Structure 1
Amino acid sequence: MALSNEQKKAYRAIGHTLNPIVTVAANGLTEGVIEELNRALNDHELIKIKVSVGDRDVKKEVLAEILRITGAEMPQQIGNTALLMRRNPKANPKLSNLKR
């Protein structure tokens, strides 16, 4: 499902106040990182992550792999920081960044 410009704008506004929850470092995508990404997306639905893996091409590949594995969408990416969103119909309203 592609996000409309209005949805992206709303998610960026919410994500502006968020701090990065997960950091993907030079060792790349390990099982632990993927599990933490899935847990954070299930709990919060909208998260900010930091990708510090080196040059631009490697960063694009890592982000594409993250999106493929998690099934999330990326409303925004600025530098090493990306905003990821994946809806969870059973999300806890106290934890969800979208339902507050």
Structure 2
Amino acid sequence: MATECNGRTAIHLAARSGHCNILRLLLDPRPAAEQEQLVNQPDFFGLTPVFLALQRGEDARDAFALLMDRGGRYNQQTPGQGRSFLNGNEFKDPADHPVKA
């Protein structure tokens, strides 16, 4: 449940990296309703673990499938203030480009 500086949990990070074994380790002990909440939890940019796995494409295909099996919703992401990731535009993860003070 702990978050890092971008509001991401370990589930966000595992999903973004495509680590299915870590996702199972984090999700399996939890009830189904809690799993669904965790895989759809937005970070400070509005990105969920499901979206981050989808963004990785083929590298995280199995992680995306696992998250969808756990109640993931990929059609409710809000990157770019409502702009759809699936409209053909490439989406850059804001966490990859931190703002310099």
Q: Same fold (TM over 0.5)?
A: no
Structure with higher strand content: 1
Structure with more of its chain in helix, by fraction:
2
Higher relative contact order (CA 8 A, sep 6+): 1
Q: Scaled by the length of structure 1, what TM-score is found?
A: 0.35
TM-score of the two chains, using structure 2 as the length reference: 0.35
